[in-house]
Structures are given as C-alpha cells and as structure tokens.
Amino acid sequence: MGSFINQPTVPILYLRPTKASFDVVGSGISGGTNSFGEEISIEIGGGGRVTATYERCVLQGDDMERHEVINWLGARGNGGFRFFNVPIINDGIGPFPIIGGKQRPIVDHIPHSDGSFFSDDSGYSQASVYAVVTANAGAGAGIIEMQVLGGARPLRWSDWFSIYHPIKGWRAYRYWEVQSVSFDEDPIYRLAIGPALREAITVGTRVELARPMCVMKLPKGFTLPWDYEAWYQSRPTLQFTEAF
C-alpha cells in the first residue's frame, strides 16, 4: 500500500476536458430475494468508492506541455500502484457567490496587507466558500456536522466536498440528506454522507467545497497511452478510482 499523502495533483483544468463524471460505486450488495422474488439490497459499511472520469481532453498540435502531462499520467499511473490527487470540478454548481456575472469558487488577485501585488501583478487566491467541522466523528461515520462559511445558497439536495485526513489524505464525500440546519448567518448543518468517513475528524477540521479533491489511482484494466492523430491532435479520456 502506498502513501495517501503528499501526492501530486492532476492539472485537470489545464487539460481542458469536455465531459466529466463523478460517482460512488459499489456501495451495496445483494441480500437475497424476498417471497415476491424482489432483490433486497444491503449497504456495505464503507459506502463504496469514489470514481472520476474526464473525457475528451483537448490537446492540439501546439500543446506540447499538455502532451507531456498525458505521458506523465500514464507513466506514473499505469498499473494503479501510484496515486494522484484528483480535483472534482464543481465550479458552476457549488454554493459559490456570483462575482462579475459568474460563479466563483476561488477568489484571486488578493493583494498583500499593504495593498501591493507580486512583481507580475498577481495576488493571492483563496476559496470563496468553505466549512469547518463542529462535532467530532469517528472513522466509518455516516453523519457529520459542519458550519458553512460564505455560502451563497443553502446546502439542499447534494454537493461534493472533501476533507484532508492526516493518514488517508484527501477524500471526497457528498451528502444525501440534510438532517438539520441552524438559523445562523453561517449555518451549521447535520448531514448524512456517502461514502462513510475514511478517517476520524475533530472539531475545527476544514472542509473544502470549492474543487474538492480525492486521492485516486487509475482503475484496474485501464491504461493511459500517449496517442495522437495527424498534427498531434488528441482527445484522451482519464479514468480514476479512489485509492485504498
């Protein structure tokens, strides 16, 4: 088993995928059938594993470095024994404020305390919305409590989020039920989540709602070749599954 921390992050926005898919698979098993012949499903304790697929990344003939990144992903990831931090790009649907007519999960161009910027006129950046854990929860827990800071809308149907665990690294979760919510300006939510917590969390742990990440690997049976058509055009698909 490899280390789950200090893994490189896949520069997915740089690779310009045109389709994305995120899921939690393998969360249930068959419990047999009842007298009506209907199958009874049983949820497994861990709650399945997170998967991510980015399809039809756009690589053109003059995108030399993008071709290098694809080659690196295959060289490092084929075989599934080395890991990556994979972002879940949720920019357009998360609880983020609208700034300049567009939802902004990340606020950038933030100056130094004296109002100045770096020499290239760039500044700092930070998430526009995040949360903090408000109640301890053990590994395998299916319910967490957290306070959302800066949210532009309430948590309602479901959102992805991630937690950086000291041993298990970045892990992604989503909630399937809002069990309660406070009336504070920055409300505290009690959420039923899936998959279950990979590691215990304590009060004050930060929760990322902007581009959450999960430590993942290339799945069994999948390899990522470096290939191209005429003029070095390529539209590779990337598949990842949660690392264990």
**Which pLDDT does position 99 carry in this prediction?**
84
Average pLDDT of the residues of the chain = 88
In sequence order, what DSSP letters do the residues of 86-107 get, joined into one string? EE---TTTSSPPEETTEE-SEE
CATH architecture of 90-210: Beta Barrel (2.40)
- Dump pLDDT digits (tens) for 166-201: 999 999 999 999 999 999 999 999 999 999 999 999
**Which pLDDT does position 107 carry in this prediction?**
74
- Boundaries of every domain in the chain: 1-86+216-244, 90-210
| Nearest Cα to Cα of residue 218 among 193, 190, 243, 187 | 243
- Which residues touch 233 (CB under 8 Å, ≥6 apart)? 59, 60, 61
- Dump pLDDT digits (tens) for 136-177: 999 999 999 999 999 999 999 999 999 999 999 999 999 999
- Dump pLDDT digits (tens) for 89-129: 999 899 998 888 888 888 765 555 666 655 565 656 678 89
d(CA 19, CA 37): 39
- Dump pLDDT digits (tens) for 53-67: 999 999 998 889 999
C-alpha dihedral (108, 172, 200, 30), degrees to nearest 10: 170
d(CA 129, CA 208): 8
| Nearest Cα to Cα of residue 10 among 78, 61, 83 | 83
